[in-house]
Each structure stands twice: as C-alpha cells, then as structure tokens.
Amino acid sequence: MRHLAQFRVLGIVIICLLCFGWAGAAENQQDKNGNSNGKDGNAVAAKQESNNFKVEFSIRNRLDSLVNRDFNSSIDDSYCYLRQRYCMFFNYKAGEVPLFSEVRFVRQFPEAFNSLELQQLYMDIGKDFRFRIGRQMMMFGDGRVISTRPLSDTGVVFDGLRMTASEKYFSTELLALNRSQYHWQAPGQERLYGFYSMWRKDKTEADGYFLTKEMDHGAYDGGLRQIRAAGVRFKQEKKDVVYGFEGIHQFGVEGARQRDAWAFVTYGNYTFNRTPWKPTVGFNFDYFSGDSNPNDGVMHTFDDFYQRNQNFLGNIGLIGPKNVKDFGILATVQPHPDWFASANYHFFTLDKPQDAWYGISGRPIFWDPKGRSGIDMGRELDTYIRYKKKIWDIYVGYCVMNPGEFIKNSNKGRTDPAQYFYFQVENKF
C-alpha cells in the first residue's frame, strides 16, 4: 500500500509537470504581436520547454562480501549480497520555481528485498532568500552531522521546510523538518530543527551550527529523547595542502538522564602535484566520547546524529562514531586522470573501556561493562581502486581488520581477522 501511494504521488507530480509544460508552451508561442500561430513560435516554445525539463538516471550494482564479522571463524556469519539501486531524477523549472524529484528502486539478492521509495520531491522559491519545501535529503560540511549516506541504497530523508539566506560569502540554513522512515516503525515522530551557517571564500570554509534532534517516547525509558548539537568546522586548501577540523558538543535529555557528549575531528593531506601519479599522504584523528558510568544520570556516549557514513571509520562498517578514537594514515596515487588508488590504515581504540564497541548502525556489538578487556580494538586496512570516466564509475575494494586486545579478552580468545570485499559499478546518464 505504501508503494502504491508513492506511485500515486509520482503520477500527480508528472501530471502537474505536463500541465506546467503545456501552459508554458502556450505562453511562449505568442510572438510580439500576440499571434500564437506560426512555425517559429512553435519551435522556440518547444526548445525552451525541452531546456526547462530534464530527466536523469543512475543504475548501481554492488557486490558485498564480508567474512568473520564477529572475529570468530568457528561460526559461519559470512554473507555475500548483490545490491541493485535504480534512481530516476526529474528536474523542471516552471518560471522561477524549480521542481526536483528523485525515485529509487532497491533490491537485494539472495534475500528477497525490494523497495520503491520517493526519496525527494521539493520545490525552491526565491534565490538569495530561498524556501525549499517538500521531501529532501541534505549534506552539510563533510557529513559529520547530516549526510546523504552516499554508500547506502537509501538516504536520510526529511519532510518539511528549509530556508536559505545568502549574501556573497555567507549563507545560513534554517531547518524545520520531520524525519521520514521507510523500513521500521519508530516509537514517535523524529523532528530536526535549528540552523547551519557557512562562510566560503576561495578555498577556505568555516561553519557554525546549532541543531536539535528530538523524538517523543524515543528514549530508552520511553521518555523524550532530545539531542542538541553545537559545532564548528574549518577547512582550508593551500596549494598542495588540505587540512581541517570539526568540534561538536552534544547536550539535552535522554528520558530521565541528561546528555553531555563530545566529538573532535582533525585531518591533513599533502599532495605532490608536480610529480608523476600525484601521490598524496595524510592523517586523521577522530574522537567520539564514551560513557564510563551508565548509572550516574548523565550520558556521555556521543550520538551519531544523521552521519552513519562508513568512509570515516573504515570501509568495513564494523565501527560507528560512538566511544571510539581513530588515528589513521592515508596514501593515494593517480596514475591516470581516470584511475585512482587509495590505502588507509586505522588504529582504533575505545574511549571508555566500560562502554560498548558500537557498529555503524549505532548499536553495541561487543561490551565489557566492567571495563577489564582493555581499549585496543584493532587495526584496519582499507584499499580500493577507482575508475571514473563519463557515465562510468567503478570501484574495487578489499579491507581487512585484525582485532586487538579488547576482542581477545571479550570474545573467548578468538581474534580471527574480518575481511571485506566489494565491487561496484554505477552508470549515470
């Protein structure tokens, strides 16, 4: 029934676009003397109408294979999935009002999973002061707080109003939105509101934001779950160097408990642009706070908000942005304009040994409440090769994680490495 309703919505959108098109064509056919007939008028109207309407498609096939995700080879928990995603994008400009829609069809093998989703359907009103109304996805900064989740088959979708005020180098986004859930029934309506301000000049970026995510009955005890995030972000490119940082403080309530959590991220890259293959070396340090005492009435575990992007804490997706420290080193080469190769090595540790190891879904995977298993989570190597040219975008990747002291002490001594392979082909036309 949900899919049928989305088809009806899409049908209404298409009919509206056609009506706008016919009305615009009739108006543009009139020449300066008010004559609506003539071959020249029809040709101009048809050309303008075709420029106003645009349809694009994206087809992505991805093979994922993961072995030993629990670091125990005596238990067969491996999987191999073929995930297919089909996207159709509609753009139409009715006068000064652009309309945009995105529909996704997702299916997964060998599991019989199929989903048709209306990911985006919005209209923009205004320019320097713009109102974006409808269903939409968002990406701010590096995606540490709100991300479109580009690696997922479906994105983080919101319904509501987004207002943008811009003036030369500075712009501010005001948000008043509800989270749209597809595949699970939430205990209540999740709301997002606040502001995100950006300053852009040349290759320098500076952001400041204050956002609130809240849900009635969303806390562990059935109470209000309200998370406020205040943060600053800075990024700069200077010739061969790119560096930046972001700091976030979270506070609010989680039912009967208060929240006080922190995150800090910094990174830097240097590219040898005047040498063959343009090699790049870099580092990153990511910190997301944990909680050493769950009974003191204050929750210090960081909430991933709307991040959940695997790129930051390893491509395998076994580690989420909660109770973790990550020091990583990076090396890339580009032997050809269409080819790119990357290797990233991560050193993971827990922030607080009494708190859990959280996965990319935000849920605990391993936990020693007494904190006697140590903090060494392990090492992860992520490698991939990418080919991108015109409509083709192809990835081949291999990742391996060798668990550390924490897994050895909390997993009955089993420390078998987890291995992940993926192959992805995407076409856009």
Domain assignment present for 230: yes
For the chain, the domain total comes to 1
Q: Which residues pair with 167 in a beta bridge?
A: 170
Interval 99-104 mean pLDDT: 90
pLDDT tier at 183, thresholds 50, 70, 90: low
How far apart, in whole angstroms, are the C-alpha atoms of residue 68 and residue 217? 36
Domain assignment present for 51: no
Domain assignment present for 254: yes
Give the model's pLDDT for residue 413.
76
Give the model's pLDDT for residue 48.
52
The CATH number given to whatever domain includes residue 84 is 2.40.160.100
Domain assignment present for 63: yes
Q: Please say if the pLDDT value at position 316 is more than 70.
A: yes
CA angle, corner 157, sides to 155 and 159, nearest 5? 170
Give 102-127 pLDDT, tens digit per residue.
998 888 887 777 888 889 999 999 88
Give the model's pLDDT for residue 30.
41
How far apart, in whole angstroms, are the C-alpha atoms of residue 350 and residue 407? 11
The string over 109-138, giving b where at least 16 C-beta atoms fall within 10 Å of a residue's C-beta and e elsewhere, is: eeeeeebbbbbbbbebeeeeebebebbbbb
> pLDDT > 90: what percent of the chain?
57
Query: Which residues have C-beta within 8 Å of that of residue 196, sequence separation ≥ 6?
Result: 140, 146, 172, 173, 175, 207, 209, 211
Domain assignment present for 102: yes
Q: Select the more confidently predicted residue: 92 or 266.
A: 266
Query: Could you tell me the pTM of the whole model?
Result: 0.85
Q: Please say if the pLDDT value at position 199 is more than 50.
A: yes
Q: Select the more confidently predicted residue: 141 or 32.
A: 141
pLDDT tier at 37, thresholds 50, 70, 90: very low
In the structure encoding, which two tokens stand for residue 36, read together?
A: 């609506």
Instruction: Kindly list the distances between the CA atom of residue 349 and the CA atoms of 289, 319, 421, 429, in Å, as whole numbers in the listed order.
Output: 11, 10, 24, 43
Neighbours of 56 (CB within 10 A): 12
> Are the CB atoms for 65 and 78 separated by under 8 Å?
yes
In the structure encoding, which two tokens stand for residue 195, read together?
A: 């502001």
> Among 54-63, 80-89, 178-187, 276-285, where is mean pLDDT lowest?
178-187
Q: Please say if the pLDDT value at position 314 is more than 80.
A: yes
Domain assignment present for 7: no
How far apart, in whole angstroms, are the C-alpha atoms of residue 363 and residue 347? 21
CA angle, corner 226, sides to 223 and 227, nearest 5? 145
Domain assignment present for 15: no
Interval 298-317 mean pLDDT: 84
Instruction: Please confirm whether the linkage preceding 110 is cis (ω < 30° from 0).
Output: yes
> Among 21-30, 191-200, 250-259, 325-334, where is mean pLDDT lowest?
21-30
Q: Please say if the pLDDT value at position 245 is more than 50.
A: yes
> pLDDT > 70: what percent of the chain?
86
Give the model's pLDDT for residue 234.
98
How far apart, in whole angstroms, are the C-alpha atoms of residue 377 and residue 418? 13
Look up the domain containing 206 and give its range. 56-428
To the nearest whole number, what is the mean pLDDT of the chain?
Answer: 85
> Are the CB atoms for 283 and 326 separated by under 8 Å?
no
Neighbours of 149 (CB within 10 A): 18
Quick one: which of 404, 228, 215 has its CA closest to 318? 404
Domain assignment present for 31: no
Interval 384-398 mean pLDDT: 95
Give the model's pLDDT for residue 184.
65
> Among 59-63, 129-133, 238-242, 312-316, where is mean pLDDT lowest?
312-316
